[in-house]
Amino acid sequence: MSQLILPTKNSWCPGCGNFGILKALEKGIEEPDRTVAVSGIGCHGKIVDYLNLSSFYGLHGRPVPVATGIKLATPHLKVVAFSGDGDSLNEGISHLIHAAKRNNDITVILHQNRNFALTVKQFTATSPRGFISNSSPSGNIEDPLNPLDLMDASGSSFIARGSSLEIDHLSYLIREAISHRGFSFLEVLQPCVAWFDTTKEYKEKTYKMEEIPENYKEKIKEWDYNNGSKIPLGIFKKEEKETFEDRLKSGEKEVNLFEIANG
């Protein structure tokens, strides 16, 4: 395959954290001919326009079930679902939880800008308390959700966090997530320079873990998605266990999903 990043005209805001994610994918995707990209709706969704990969646009909050279906129909492919925090932690949270619970063999890369950016600044499940937006003009009164904690509770077998400001490190995490057999959840912190510019905060507060922590449950909770904490980056959890696709096999006879669908 030719170059991974297409010369398509890019419509992200100058300085958007999505550029760092796109750059990290150049080294992070090692088998482009065997990789399928799926996206939802939001600023993150445009990434499939810029990748020279087979791809599919899902509905808002629905990249995970689409990725699941592609993996079940073509199990030899690597399937990567790109999603935003509003996309998969608001509209599509049930899909995310159940894919993690089943341990579907897909990778979810969550573009975490902590607001609905494409629709010009509303608060999401991970916006900090007090966040002023078009849907919370007096400040968000809710406490933010910790998606890594949610994914651990749901049974995700791979959990990691990276930053779009740390491209080489993020490339490594992408490779690890895609190569893991089972449900992989990779959260990527990305500043939204238009509506919630967290560049300074992430430069000052993020740090890289040298190895997978033994006390990963405590590490996951080290940052509460409000201000004032150090923010660990790296792999928190990597567990080998039976995948949903494994369970579809009965002895030597593999279940034919097309026969099931057609009765």
- Pairing mode, strands 158-163 and 231-238: antiparallel
Q: Which residues pair with 116 in a beta bridge?
A: 122
How large is the average pLDDT for residues 124-137? 91
Residue ranges making up the domain that contains 237: 18-261
| CATH for 42 | 3.40.50.970
Specify if 12 maps to a domain. no
Q: Does residue 23 belong to any structural domain of this protein?
A: yes
Q: What is the pLDDT of residue 117?
A: 86
Q: What mean pLDDT is predicted for residues 232-236?
A: 98
Strands (DSSP E) found in 22-155 = 35-39, 54-57, 78-84, 107-112
CA–CA gap between residue 163 and residue 202 (Å, rounded): 8
Does residue 125 sit within a domain?
yes
Residue 89 within a domain: yes
Q: Is position 3 within any domain?
A: no
Q: What is the DSSP letter of 128?
A: P
pLDDT band, very low/low/confident/very high, at 2 (cuts 50, 70, 90) = low
Rounded distance between C-alpha atoms, residue 35 and residue 107, angstroms: 11
- DSSP sequence for 82-120: EEEHHIIIIITHHHHHHHHHHT-S-EEEEEE-SSBTTTT
Whole-angstrom Cα distance, residue 250 to residue 62? 29
User: Is the residue at 2 inside a domain?
Assistant: no
Mean pLDDT confidence for 63-92: 94
Query: What are the DSSP calls for 146-191, one per residue?
Result: -HHHHHHHHT-SEEEEEETT-HHHHHHHHHHHHHSSS-EEEEEE--
Q: What is the pLDDT of residue 190?
A: 96
Give the model's pLDDT for residue 148. 98
Q: Would you say 83 and 39 are in contact if contact means Cβ atoms under 8 Å apart?
A: yes
Q: Report the range out of 9-13, 38-42, 164-168, 248-252 with the highest average pLDDT.
A: 164-168
Residue among 112, 111, 114, 110 nearest 132 (CA): 114
Ramachandran quadrant class, 53 (left: phi over 0; alpha: psi -120 to 50; beta: rest): beta
pLDDT higher than 90, residue 252: no
| Residue 250 pLDDT class (50, 70, 90 cuts) | low
Would residue 5 count as lying in a domain? no
Structural domain total, the chain:
1
Looking at every residue in the chain, the average pLDDT score rounds to: 91
How many residues are given for the chain? 263
Q: Is residue 193 pLDDT above 80, yes or no? A: yes
- Work out the average pLDDT over 8-27: 94
119 lies in some domain: yes
Q: Element (H or E) spanning 238, and its range?
A: strand 231-238
- Average pLDDT for residues 216-225, to the nearest whole number? 95
**228/208 Cα distance (integer angstroms):** 17
Percent of the chain at pLDDT exceeding 90? 79
CA distance 68 to 216: 27
Question: Quick one: average pLDDT of 67-90?
Answer: 94
Predicted TM-score (pTM) of this structure: 0.92
For 86-109, write each residue's pLDDT tens digit.
999 998 999 999 999 999 999 999
